[in-house]
Structure 1
């Protein structure tokens, strides 16, 4: 089914490729959601590693995957990330978009903003902290300087989409998470995290070469 490309902005400096989780708020019970969402976020047992079900009663319904009205000048197939609203949109035809809840970077200096291109896609990606991350927190990140193989404890989750700008790696990724309760918050080291079922869904919908627009964190607005 035809889909649209869309907006990707958040300024990448030195400390992004880690995309690790920072301790965020613990989940709180939300009103019950319908069976469609429960099915959408059910466990996946067809992957190299298990993808656990997500208890959608613990997730604010605003951050569950759904088709919404979305007005933009971006072409269908574009991904637009709105860090203020904690949403990512896959632009569709007819003023519609597929909206995903996301978690974004806590610190402005670690965030990328602007236009980028998905130059690489990875299944159960390897994670390696940046040099700056290791320099800032050697005890925490030093043991992983050689990288961490893909798997259920890898902070990138089951999929990663790698953003490049001007032919260079921004060190900014769209990826899964081991902490679904942090979706809708500002807790990561700069990258955009999705619930694992959502990043698998997005990965399957967009090709290498997809445009991503990350809106400014202070001025993002969706009509």
Structure 2
């Protein structure tokens, strides 16, 4: 596997879609935005291309022939951390949530604006590479190194997606404060509007990784009718 680092404009993006028209349009817009683009038409081809030239980000269609996008996402993530934006032709909420549950960092529903997709790619990549090194955050047995993008719980490294890491770091920077889902979408995702179930799914996934008992969360608490609060009090902070 060839690991490469690119500047913001030259990041490598792997576009996986069995519709040649969609793939060509997406590739064209990303190419004009300054990205290095690889294309794959199915799951095995995507895995082979990722192995040959590891991408900085994957744009992945959910509905692929044979090996579907969910399985491709699992297998690519099994080889190494990489942000994934899922494409789905269906607007059903269950499909969107399923994509987020397997670790997609974002999703776009077809038909979509190619310009919007480029903006989503820029947003995800920007959040994976902090412009400046920042301090390590510590609370309640958690340690978040924002510069290296590593998170530990009681000394054991956590396997977090890009958005889960951003969400945890945000909570640790603002302990004791209550944030609505709209607040979190704006501050963590950088969106002024969007599907709030995205936030709900990521909070649930994050609890599953940082809470001793996710069914009875003590760190990321729900404030009914308002939102969520990170509470490190009496947790060994």
Same fold by TM (over 0.5)? no
Q: Which has the higher strand share?
A: 1
Higher helix share: 2
TM score, norm. by length of structure 1:
0.27
Answer with 1 or 2: which has the greater Rg: 2
TM-score (norm 2): 0.26
Q: Which has the higher contact order (CA 8 A, sep 6+)?
A: 1
